[in-house]
Amino acid sequence: MEQFISYFEELPALYKLIWVVACLALVWILELVIPLVQHQYNKIKHDGINLVFLSMSMVINVLVGVATVGVFYWISTSKVGLLQWVELPFWAELLIAVMALDFIAQYVAHYLLHRVRWMWKFHLVHHSDTKVDATTGTRHHPGDYFIRELFSIGTVIIFGIPLAFYVFYRICTVFFTYVTHANIELPKWIDKPLSLVFITPNVHKFHHHYERPWTDTNFGNIFSIWDRLFGTFVYDDTKKIQYGVDVTDPSKDEDLRYQLGLPLNKNIKTD
């Protein structure tokens, strides 16, 4: 336990970056070998635009991380939060922390990003990608990403989640984000059993269908159990999926200026 905590508390930023690059490299290879859709696009340009959004998110992540160092210190010294008030086995506390973050900072936050009009306009950037692949997972308007960060920190405070647990959770989300968005086709005999517990590549693709009701399903990031519990889970034929969103201009999905301006674009319908 002490080794685990020490390792993730002291994990260098370089190691985190290497993990991001390694996960991305892995799914890029899989996209070449077992593609779900044969996209007709300039992959370098497409992925380059999405990686610009990633760079913005990384800046926000660093700034929020610096600002919340005191939060983790306060939790550990003042014993704030649910996990600080109970004595449970190490594995149980880690599981609770990961599930709490996945539920509140991912499922709930994601659900609200679809249901609250002004939040949805930020989230449109993510859904406006008409060629969904691994890098789509990094495609978030800075406002969208900042909202998610606020939900993460709120969850950390409520549950009293230690820094090591939080870093471990973030490492897990990087892997699931890239894999679930990756343009890869898993056989149903693999994908469907896994989807009983986890969000899989096939499952998340329905969320990127261009219109409702599929757009408003499969909100989870790691676990599919939240969608199953709250009736937002769907599993169908992936061949029926059409990427994008029906309220933005699909021809401008790689127009950085247009995408960043979506939250203030009065021509965008939010109903």
Half-sphere exposure of 187 (CA within 13 A, CB side): 2
pLDDT above 90 (res 165): yes
Cα angle: 127, vertex 262, 267; to 5 degrees? 110
Q: Is residue 218 helix, strand or coil?
A: coil
Average the pLDDT over each of 20-34, 39-53, 58-72, 233-247 and give the range with the smallest value.
58-72
Distance CA 252, CA 123 (A): 16
Q: What is the pLDDT of residues 190-226, one digit of tens each?
A: 999 999 999 999 999 999 999 889 999 999 999 999 9
Instruction: Provide the angle, in degrees to the nearest 10, between the axes of the packed helices 13-33 and 163-181.
Output: 20
Q: What is the pLDDT of residues 101-160, one digit of tens each?
A: 999 999 999 999 999 999 999 999 999 999 999 999 999 999 999 999 999 999 999 999
Place of tokens 């900042």: 146
Q: What is the pLDDT of residues 35-67, one digit of tens each?
A: 999 888 888 999 999 999 999 998 998 888 888
CA dihedral 21, 72, 168, 177 (to 10 degrees): -60
Structure tokens at 170: 């973030």
Write the CB contacts of 184 (distance below 8 Å, at least 6 apart in sequence): 27, 30, 31, 34, 35, 36, 201
For 30-42, give one letter per residue: b (16+ CB within 10 A) or e.
bbeeeebbebeee
Q: What per-residue confidence (pLDDT) applies to 109?
A: 97
Distance CA 181, CA 137 (A): 6
Q: What per-residue confidence (pLDDT) applies to 16?
A: 87
Q: What per-residue confidence (pLDDT) applies to 74?
A: 87
* Stated pTM of the model: 0.92
